Amino acid sequence: MKTSLFSNAGRLCRYVILGAVLYTSVNAKLLKAPLEPFTIRTTEGVETSSKLTLFRGETTKQKKVMLKWAMAGQDNFTYTVEKSRDGQHFTSVDTRSVEKDNQNQFRWVDNFPKATNCYRLRITDTAGNSSYSKTLVVETFKSGDVELVGATPQVNLNDIQVDVQLKEIAIVVLHITNDKGEIILQQKERGSQGINQFMVKGSRELKAGDYFLKVVVNGTDRMLVHLVKS
């Protein structure tokens, strides 16, 4: 008995549909997979870094990460950018390409960012004394409605600051939970296209202990950071 062209076409369609279902199922599992938190601990020596008025990141058109920072006052400082994959072990990177604009803000571009990046500044004054900035955590995304999520989550120094770079309007929910999973602070924001900057109100008042910062954009988890406040 010969197989008709329509039967072959029907079988092919079923294979295509089955493949699409499997692909969708696998990607749904990947998207819903729980984020693995990385740990951020507070650093010592914040006297000089307390003059830091800006430290944030954003993506460029080439999908690189640009760091921006500024200092209060007219003191002369030397800056060393340090980078980490886990938020605890940092190494210095080549910062010969640091630029300063006419607003006294500094810029440095990371040409080789990963999906997760941790940065901090070592700030050295003219007497040779050094201190460190907050750790800046930057998550980059190649697809979807989010381009970047950045956070400076060292609660010993100030309230937690979160930057979200969006391709379109979105709802951003910021969660602070304790080690038992109980919500301590929660904040809902409406983000606009481009860079959005939010402060987690009350985060500086957290008592010593372990916490988790979660950033959720349009119902999808985008960042999870383990915070240790001493």
- pLDDT tens digit string along 3-21? 443 344 444 333 333 233 3
Farthest CA pair distance, the chain: 92
pLDDT at 163 over 70: yes
Angle CA 17–19–20, to nearest 5: 65
171 CB-near residues (< 8 Å, 6+ apart): 188, 189, 190, 191, 217, 218, 219
Nearest to 150 by CA among 50, 40, 73, 26: 40
> What integer pLDDT is reported at residue 33 of this predicted model?
47
Highest mean pLDDT among 84-93, 96-105, 170-179: 170-179
List pLDDT tens digits, range 177-230.
999 999 999 999 999 999 999 999 999 999 989 999 999 999 999 999 999 887
> What integer pLDDT is reported at residue 103 of this predicted model?
79
Q: Are 48 and 123 in contact (CB under 8 A)?
A: yes
Nearest to 207 by CA among 182, 187, 228, 186: 228
Q: Are 198 and 150 in contact (CB under 8 A)?
A: no
Q: Which class would CATH give 38-229?
A: mainly beta
Q: How confident is the model at residue 48 (pLDDT cuts 50, 70, 90)?
A: low
> What integer pLDDT is reported at residue 44 of this predicted model?
54
> What integer pLDDT is reported at residue 86 of this predicted model?
83
Any idea how long the chain is? 230
List pLDDT tens digits, range 74-90.
678 889 999 998 888 89
Structure tokens given for 216: 């959720």
List pLDDT tens digits, range 122-136.
999 888 989 899 899
Q: How confident is the model at residue 71 (pLDDT cuts 50, 70, 90)?
A: confident
Taking the model in full, what pTM does it have?
A: 0.79
Q: Are 220 and 32 in contact (CB under 8 A)?
A: no
Distance CA 116, CA 171 (A): 22
Is 51 buried (19+), middle (13-18) or exposed (0-12) by CB count in 10 A?
middle
Phi, psi dihedrals of residue 157, rounded to the nearest 5°: -95, -30
